[in-house]
Amino acid sequence: MGRGRAKGCESRFLGYVQGLASVIGHADRIGPLHDYCLGLMVARGRKSVEPMAAHIAPHRTSAQHQSMLHFVGAAGWSDEKVLAKVREMVQPKIEAHGPIEAWIIDDTGLPKKGEHSVGVHHQYCGQLGKQSNCQVAVSLSIANHHASLPVAYQLYLPKVWADDCARRGKAGVPEDISFQTKPEIALAHIRWACKAGLPRGNVLTDAGFGHDSKFREGVSELGLTYCAGIQPQTLVWKPGIKPALASKKARHNAVSVKKLALGLPTKAWHTIKWREGTNDWLSSRFARVRVAVAPSKECPKKPKKEWLLIEWPKGEATPTKYWLSTLPETISFVDLVDATKLRWRIERDYQELKQEIGLGHFEGRKWRGFHHHASMCIAAYGFLVSERETIPPSGPRTAALFQEPTLPDSYRPRGSALAA
């Protein structure tokens, strides 16, 4: 990248920071806002406050550290307003390549040592693929085939934390935060997005959320479609059986989706490509069937027909993934697979947020700091999304964007517009 292009990127970054500054509150927060976002993008190694401060201001590290630490850990700016501003600035860049197609729900685990950081508990951590000490956050991202962006993000507070007044007080958990399951937090995100008027998309989830019938029902009640991962033991009515309300007498007419899949004829399975990978097109073997989910005590309503999509890669002894989808009955097989598989976008989000931006590197212990750091990470990531066309296809994103030194240590944005 030439020096002129780098300067152009820096100019756009300053404009981006000005946009964020308009919702950050006091003018004395503008400098730390700029430095924190820049540190997340250009600092090498761990992106906790002290090493970022050392990278941004090597000749005044102590003062820089205190400034950034106060900004992320104590300052009373609004995460909701910052994320809304990020969305306002970045969403048009995404939509320039097509309308929003999906709302992607996911949870992400952040491994932690010790027991004092807010929400830390021995629970399943997707990053490690096992039960471990970690924090878990639930997010909602908007996406199309070009890009995606997290727009809502909240820490999951395990019940042992939610019910412990002393721990809550020490970690600064807001009084209005009570225990919610992860599907309940996800549904609250979706309700908020509907109320906020976000362009609607097909809701995509893995089986951690999709197995919850109340969650799926809640999505449908909001007038949204979904492609939701489910577990192999999920019960549906046998083909040819008229859907009925749950009862002991009727349960013998239900069958697990795994058993149904194993009984499908060979002609039901088709190899379908869904996107181009690094070296070749990604493809697998799929089958789809119209089914009605057998009602449960938690969700006893009479079911309606929806798609059951099954993936069974060649070489595997049994099917590996199952989804339920309320997309139209008329949707083509290829489009159903494509819509369902668009969830890969959230995996890319979290890979970059963790590996490049340092989402899991915050070392503070309190609720406010946890969410402030995440908001700054999403803001930095949003800038990278908006700059996607200017970044070479190979090499680290941030290295391609900025030449160092980027700005003098004494830099602070000025102007009445920034102090709003």
Distance of alpha carbon 37 from alpha carbon 29, whole angstroms: 12
pLDDT digits (tens, 9 = 90+) for 335-347: 999 999 999 999 9
Residue 232: CB atoms within 10 A of its CB come to: 17
- pLDDT for 44 equals 86
Do 402 and 42 touch, CB atoms closer than 8 A?
A: yes
Bridge partner list, 110: 135
Print the SS3 string covering the chain.
CCHHHHHHHHHHHHHHHHHHHCCCCCHHHHHHHHHHHHHHHHCCCCCCHHHHHHHHCCCCHHHHHHHHHHHHHCCCCCHHHHHHHHHHHHHHHHHCCCCCCEEEEEEEEEECCCCCCCCCEEEEECCCCEEEEEEEEEEEEEECCCCEEEEEEEECCCHHHHCCHHHHHHHCCCCCCCCCCHHHHHHHHHHHHHHHCCCCCEEEECHHHHCCHHHHHHHHHCCCCEEEEECCCCEEECCCCCCCCCCCCCHHHEEEHHHHHHCCCHHHCEEEEEEECCCCEEEEEEEEEEEEECCCCCCCCCCCEEEEEEECCCCCCCCCEEEEECCCCCCCHHHHHHHHHCCHHHHHHHHHHHHCCCHHHCCCCCHHHHHHHHHHHHHHHHHHHHCHHHCCCCCCHHHHHCCCCCCCCCCCCCCHHHHC
Query: CB of 24 within 8 A of CB of 30?
Result: yes
Q: Rounded CA gap, 6 and 401, in Å?
A: 6
- pLDDT confidence of residue 299: 59
pLDDT of residue 277: 72
pTM reported for the whole predicted model: 0.89
- In this predicted structure, what is the pLDDT of residue 249? 54
Residues of the chain whose pLDDT is less than 50? 1, 246, 393-395, 399, 403-420
Q: Which pLDDT value is given to residue 128?
A: 84
Token pair 């069974």 in the structure block, residue? 312
Model pLDDT, residue 146: 93
Between CA 177 and CA 154 the distance in angstroms is: 11
Looking at residue 129, what is its pLDDT?
85
C-alpha to C-alpha distances, 28 to 76, 412, 418, nearest whole angstrom: 12, 10, 10
Question: Are the beta carbons of 27 and 369 closer than 8 angstroms?
Answer: no
The reported pLDDT for the residue numbered 1 is: 43
**CB-CB contact of 378 with 150 (8 Å):** yes
CB 203 within 8 A of CB 101: no
